[in-house]
Amino acid sequence: MKINKRDVAWSLLIITSLIWYLFITMAKDLAGSYLMPTPVAACPKIVEAKKVPEKIEPFVGGKIREVSAYNSLPEQTDSSPCEGAYGNVCEPYKNGLCVVASNAFKGHSILLIENVGQCEVLDTMNERYPNRVDIFMGNDLGRAVDFGIQKLRVLQLN
């Protein structure tokens, strides 16, 4: 019996698609919307504390930048994940402040980020990302994955 390479390729494609579908379906059942992007307020403590709507009203000014999220996990940072370039990032976050890392702004700058709100720059990023803003999300890896990389308007307030 001769095996046709095209039939093997189609079979592998179908099997891979089926496995991927089952994986996403089971992951969603186990972790809510872990793999499916949903609108996420990056810093819910701020949103709850100030009773700000989930979507921040559009504003004029600023610049469209790539905005991503990171966690205080050693594999994403270094051996001291709570120590940022401008001080501790974990304590302000636990107290409800939105904390970001960025090389585009000086330390302790206050930024207004579209759909997120006000955040303070307390850390820097790898020099490969000179214009990106990285929102700190504690240990919540799922929320950071859901947030992904977005192009949002960022305005420096001070």
DSSP 8-class letter at 155: E
Higher pLDDT, 73 or 110: 110
Other Cβ atoms less than 10 A from the Cβ of 144: the count is: 22
Domain ranges, ordered by start, for the chain: 1-36, 44-156
Per-residue pLDDT tens over the stretch 82-106: 888 898 888 998 888 999 999 999 9
Strands (E), the chain: 63-70, 83-84, 87-88, 99-102, 110-113, 117-123, 133-136, 150-156
Model confidence at 31: pLDDT above 70 = no
pLDDT at residue 132 above 70? yes
What is the amino acid identity at position 135?
I
Report which residue type is found at 24.
Answer: I
44-156 domain in CATH 3.90.45.10?
Answer: no
pTM above 0.85, yes or no: no
Among the listed ranges 5-19, 27-41, 76-90, which one has the minimum average pLDDT value?
Answer: 27-41
